Structure 1
């Protein structure tokens, strides 16, 4: 191979040109991320069961799930936990199976379970993935937590629509909760029980399809939309209609609090109450591109926010990626200068130039194979590039010196000296 390329200089130069052009084109399209994607091969099932003891969770939730999914193909290990008010099951996927396919099969089995306890909430089945956070936003200012969270939700939706950023999580604030505190005195006054109030709310707060009506103008779908989403909606729900036609509503029996779950979590940013948004890069999204778009968006959105509320970026993890990229570029330039300088001083300028040219060609050639191997440019791969850079520079100097020495000692055609000098230091 060495002899063939030395004897066919046109082919070698043409191949080098192709590698340079194709490598530059490929390098601009390789995904940039903080860390490589890791597949945990794990599926999780979570089922909240408010007010239940661990024994009840085990018998009513965990055992049902284990019995239903144990024969799913591709499962290596099942680990279950029953805690107060909560049950979880973790499934480790056997090597060689697609975790997404196994997750879909498990979800189908769990969704088919129809004898969960009545008070248990809907199970959540998801494949565990390691997400790479890119940057965070802080929504803070002189406002109550509810207003801050509403602004954060608006910003999340704007990032999804305007900037096409798919993964934005709201953190640093408790979840919304509508609590209905029924008065025992009011129940006695109206001759009702707590269970009757609960059943009335369940019957009323539902959306029910009512079929369809076919007409000459087309088909009309009927649907009752009675589900409540706000405290005012629940407060206005009827519980009973008395003999005199008077309607007893939830607000007559209880106090409805449209607020947050009981959580001691308090988030402060720049000395003021805040809500945080964590932005992730998913799929083929470039971490550097996501960071730039979020910072530009933050500067623009501040002009449209209510007075006293601000948005600020922080915890930009692309700082480390940019630093590693700059280190690679800087070391590459120093390596090229070092090779050119040493070989020019001690050997020949023409030899120094061609040896120096081999360094970027070798790196651009490696770029051609990264997408095919599923490798992105991240902190780990950049560390490898920086490590190999020193080896490539050293090898370039050693091979150049060996070829020149061989030519000086034995003379003869330069092709023979190139082949012999390269083989002398090759493994």
Structure 2
């Protein structure tokens, strides 16, 4: 390696070619990188959906879900299976194990499901796909005084306009049910014309077709035979003949039925600020740039509003606003941090030397951009934070190498020789110190859970940057110092420079020298004092003085309010309740508006949707309000505070089964408990107990459960006369289904829409319970009998859904924190240690699974426990190989808790909660502390090899290494300082990690400068007395591995 370094230093053109090549390709790569709000994520979930029209949840469970769950047993790569059986549809989610090939599992699942041949008649083919996280760019709300048909046409035209641009490929429309054609008949007409639903359906199918009749092969040409009889609109179906009569007349469809264009019979309505609306959602794929997508969309919206007066288009949920704020925030803080780093270098080193050292920052970032672009990483909040985190570390190796080259130059060596010797001498310790930092970030690639899906972006940025910083420190920097004036001080230092040098000299040779001497003379005091601080810190954590939460609170600019009423509630009731809450929201907005100096609205838009909510429920009893809030930086108020004000103003809503105010976090509900078992009565009993406990806890709010009662059901039973007439239950129930649910006649492809044609009773007949008793049931011989003569029914409540977790029935009880910033661990500890055991002791046959945020925390913790010990072991082995000493490696690693002390106290100082991001910062910090320790121990060993006494070797090493160690600490801490003191909400979720690194490093490094010398001397005494006990004639110096290696020529340790 020395020869390579020597060659490059002797031929500086090579280093310049490398420098400008990396800078050039790095700039090109940076310009090619895409922007996104968060990193692109993969769900690792395979979904299976089976539509079973008209089926109850129990029928879906028995006929579809149980069969699929059974066939999935034994497929490799499946972590667990969850399912939901609802009216008309069964959904199964297959969660794949970490690290498996999802496409292989998808193929195995598809093959297994395709082998099932016993799905019930009437169910559709299973739809199997891998869930994709679509990154929302923004949403467009179209609203105005018009009907849904007009809104549909306009929305589809806007969608086409957006999709016609090269930048946009994912546009969807919500708030519109599917169009249908409804053929509606009355029982009286059926009896008058002696018709059945089957006859009407058959007549429509046979007449409304396009069909090929073959071809003529004449001598001159081939002529095709075709019949074009298919019509696509309700008006065109009126003249379909139903039957020919004996008198020569024809009965047409319009004679026996009312045919109309309508919407699918599901509640799916949307209002914006009180007007009919539809939402056009614009997403981005992994290959698209969110800024480009948003730019094109905004241009189209401007054109739209210029050409439409009655229909208005409003941009909502614009993710680029927060993205730009976060990126600008990180960019500005990054630039400020970079400036602080360079100023710190200039303070501790001469300006010429600091200039060449700082070149490592743009060089390393340029190399990182090349790797990041090739890896498909986007410029997002996580990757940008990685740049800020590493900016101060990048110069660490350059500082050490430059300082050593300068030291050799001051001994009288020529610049080239000083560069070669100084670089070669620091090759092993600097490489080891940087490599340990790189290794500590490797586990981030193997973390599970939601955060593990994107935190590796930060790790790749750090590792790639550090790798290129090594290249710069060993190749570019020495060449530049050897052939420039970087080693030559100015002929006469300025007054300011002299003052700085005098201050540094005082700090080193006066202040630190006295502290170091005290530590050497009072080794046990120096060692036990930080140890006492460590135990005090553990006590603070255990006593709850430092707040803790698994995942930090991340605020947003939307606020959802979700409700569900008793299943079967009319759409009008749901709409009325939502409208009442909506009025309250606007009243709260007026209050907040009056309290603001700028008089701005805090609620800038409000969507009211009926038919679905964020609980995963659908139906006329469900709905949600979505409040679009003023940008977080402008409103100066967390969304959960606004939610609390609305909740208090609305008061108790007794008719609501479930209601929540506020947003669900990225990492799941903070409190989410799944009750598992096979006996539904036991599960309901346990649910009631758990809900009651949660509702009595003032720290919780929005308590919901997944086992709401379904709509009332009529359970049909045949009377003896039906059996006597040869009728089966399927015959009677089938005719009832035809009349009330409807019989699908055919499907027409009308543009993009697949329009179903139904034949059924009129709405007024289907809306009257008494009509069921009067309807006629047709027997095989054509006779008619009133339903009441052939069958009877009971009315009872069904289930709205049946959920499974790993093939067991599941009821999930969830709650939010009353204050989003409350400490979650003590709340969960109380639930798991007191509440759950009490409930399980009262209800047998029920098991519990902690879901939501708790499950994500467990995944993160388990993967950390597997990955980080391996990283520490690799680092430990690397340090052993460099120093050829187990004890010196142990000494270095024993200093890691020093950083933990600083990190914890830093959180307390800023009132921040410790979270997984804080732990990630502590783990990253450990690599930097080891970095500084390696440089310190290496200097002691070199001093010993030069013949210095052990006390002198340690003392002189401390004075020699003070400046580079302080530089590495201050550059890293100052680089993160702007983020730590940033008040912007966009930076809040990054602050815990920055606090861990900066404060941990500040405390850890300053204590390291005291503890490491003392620890080294204590270790030396242990070696000495061990050798004397073994009968060896040794000195304090001769027992050290560095001296033994010098004397014997091989590694040895006593």
Q: How does the TM-score come out when normalised to structure 1?
A: 0.83
| Equivalent residue number for residue 31 of structure 1 | 34
Quick one: distance in 2 between partners of 1:16 and 1:173? 57
Q: In the alignment, what sits opposite 2:64?
A: 61
Query: Cα gap change, 1:73/1:339 in structure 2, threshold over 3 Å: closer, same or farther?
Result: closer
Task: State the Cα deviation string for residues 316-345 of structure 1 (Å, max 9, x = none).
Answer: 112232233323432343244334444445
2:367 equivalent in structure 1:
365
Partner of 2:297: 294
Residue 192 of structure 1 deviates from its aligned partner by 0.8
The CA distance in 1 between the partners of 2:109 and 2:223, in whole Å, is 37
Contact 1:47/1:86, CA 8 A, preserved across alignment: yes
Task: Provide the rounded CA distance (Å) in 1 between the counterparts of 2:113 and 2:428.
Answer: 66
Correspondences of 1:99-248 after superposition (within 5 Å): 99-100=102-103, 102-103=105-106, 106-107=109-110, 116-163=119-166, 165-205=168-208, 208=211, 210-211=213-214, 229-248=232-251
What is the Cα deviation at residue 411 of structure 1?
4.6
Cα separation, partners in 2 of 1:110 and 1:166, compared to 1, 3 Å:
farther
Q: How far apart, CA to CA, are the structure 2 residues paired with 1:215 and 1:125? A: 49
Q: Distance in 2 between matches of 1:220 and 1:383?
A: 70
Aligned twin of 1:351: 353
Cα distance in 1, alignment partners of residues 413 and 286 from structure 2: 57
Residue 423 (structure 2) aligns with: 419
Question: Which is richer in strand?
Answer: 1
Say which SS state the counterpart of residue 281 (structure 2) adopts.
strand
C-alpha spacing 1:271/1:399, structure 2 compared with 1 (3 Å): farther
Aligned partner of 2:287 in structure 1 is: 284
Cα 1:118/1:63, change in 2 over 3 Å: same
Structure-2 change in CA distance of 1:49 and 1:340 (3 Å): closer
Gapped regions of structure 2 (runs ≥ 5) = 434-1054
Q: In the alignment, which residue of structure 2 is the partner of 1:260?
A: 263
Q: Write the distance in 1 (CA, Å) between the matches of 2:295 and 2:188.
A: 59
Partner Cα separation in structure 1 for residue 203 and residue 119 of structure 2: 22
Checking the alignment, whether the CA contact within 8 Å between 1:359 and 1:396 is kept in structure 2 is no
1:382-406 Cα distance to aligned partner (Å, 9 max, x none): 222222224336x378448735863
Matches of 2:96 and 2:213, distance apart in 1: 43
Alpha-carbon distance change, 347 to 103 in structure 1, aligned in 2, over 3 angstroms:
closer
Alpha-carbon distance in structure 1 between the residues aligned to 2:288 and 2:310: 33
In structure 2, relative to structure 1, the CA distance for the partners of 1:420 and 1:124 (3 Å cut) is closer
Q: Distance in 2 between matches of 1:379 and 1:227?
A: 55
Alignment equivalent of 1:308, drawn from 307, 310, 315: 310
Distance 2:260 2:248 in 1: 28
CA shift, 1:254, in A, is 2.7
Partner of 2:564 in structure 1? none
Gaps of 5+ in 1: none
Instruction: Tell me, yes or no, if the aligned pair for 1:339 and 1:352 is still in contact at 8 Å.
Output: no
Is the contact made by 2:209 and 2:230 (CA closer than 8 Å) also made in structure 1? yes
Helix, strand or coil: the match of 1:56?
A: helix
The 5 A counterparts of 1:62-101 are: 62=65, 65=68, 78-93=81-96, 98-100=101-103
CA deviation map 1:56-86 (0-9, x unaligned): 3344434565677768776665544433322
Q: How far apart are residue 148 of structure 1 and its match?
A: 0.9
How big is each residue's C-alpha offset from its partner over 1:211-264, in whole Å with a ceiling of 9 and x where there is no partner?
A: 555567876666655555433344444333333343333333233342323455
Q: Is the 1:140–1:310 contact (alpha carbons within 8 Å) kept by the matching residues of 2?
A: yes
- Aligned residue pairs total 425
1:117-144 CA-partner distances (Å, limit 9, x unpaired): 4433443222211111111111122211
Match of 2:21 in 1: 18
CA contact (8 A) 1:406 1:421 kept: no
Aligned 8 A contact 1:399 1:425 in 2: no
Q: Is the 8 A contact 2:353 2:402 kept in 1?
A: no
- Aligned-pair CA distance for 1:150: 1.6
Instruction: Report the Cα offset of residue 361 of structure 1.
Output: 1.1
Higher helix share: 2
Distance in 2 between the 1:245 and 1:380 partners?
79
* Cα distance change of structure 1 residues 102 and 237 upon mapping to structure 2, 3 Å threshold: farther
Partner of 1:406: 407
Report the RMSD for the aligned CA atoms in angstroms.
3.6
Partner Cα separation in structure 2 for residue 424 and residue 74 of structure 1: 43
Residues 217 and 120 of structure 1, relative CA distance in 2, 3 Å threshold:
farther
* Contact 2:231–2:237 (8 Å) recurs in 1: yes
Point out the structure with max Rg over C-alpha. 2
Partner of 2:47: 44
CA contact (8 A) 1:167 1:281 kept: yes
CA distance in 2, matches of 1:85, 1:41: 26
Worse overlay, 396-405 or 171-180 = 396-405
